[in-house]
Amino acid sequence: MAGEITFVLGGARSGKTRHGLALCEAYHAERGSNPVYVATAQAFDGEMEERIALHKAERGPAWRTVEAPLDLAGAIRRESGPGACLLVDCLTLWLTNLMLGEVEADLDAARKELVAALGEALGPVVVISNEVGLGIVPENALARRFRDEAGRTNQTIAAAADRVILVAAGLPLTLKGA
């Protein structure tokens, strides 16, 4: 798994993060080191604060958390190393942050920069994302644009990844790689 990019995607509460955590924990158990959780979430309200606290408690003290709501590529470059498995959770929150920030980001450029950072990673990186394009067409323009940009982002990362795993009902299905 050293230097390998694994892309794990699925619907809400599908088990995708749990699967990603298990991949990184197995890698670190073999090496006796601690995994790194790269968080893209921002706590703008009490409900999100609770979600973040719950996820942090579920991970446990072995995990070091790095917050990267906008500069995900920079965080990957800073934190990647031969003995560290990074878990990036998640691309759809990162995309939301970019789309709704004070100054909207160039999403094509951000995707290219992310792919470049993943390609430069010195250790394995597990990237989590939501698959949001399987449901009904959203009723408003922003939601439709988000769905489309999430689809483009997922396709871009899947093309760059060594492995792609779809998780549904807690069951992983390998779409690409071994």
**The two three-digit tokens of residue 15, written as one number:** 């088990």
Q: What's the whole-model pTM score?
A: 0.94
Which amino acid belongs to residue 166? L
Radius of gyration of the chain (CA): 15
The answer to whether 55 is a known catalytic residue is yes
Which class is 5-176 in CATH? alpha beta
- Structure tokens, 77: 């470059």
Which residues fall within 8 angstroms of residue 2, CB to CB, at 6 or more apart? 82, 123, 124
What pLDDT does 2 receive?
Answer: 56
Tens digit of pLDDT per residue, the chain (178 long)?
557 999 999 998 899 999 999 999 998 888 777 799 999 988 888 888 888 888 888 888 889 999 999 999 999 999 998 888 999 999 999 999 999 988 878 999 999 999 999 999 999 999 999 999 888 899 999 999 999 999 999 999 999 999 999 999 999 999 999 7
- Structure confidence at residue 3 (pLDDT): 79
Query: Quick check: 137 and 124 in contact, CB under 8 A?
Result: no
Which of these is catalytic: 55, 56, 77, 147? 55
CA distances from 42 to 51, 52, 94 (A): 10, 9, 9
Domain boundaries, the chain: 5-176
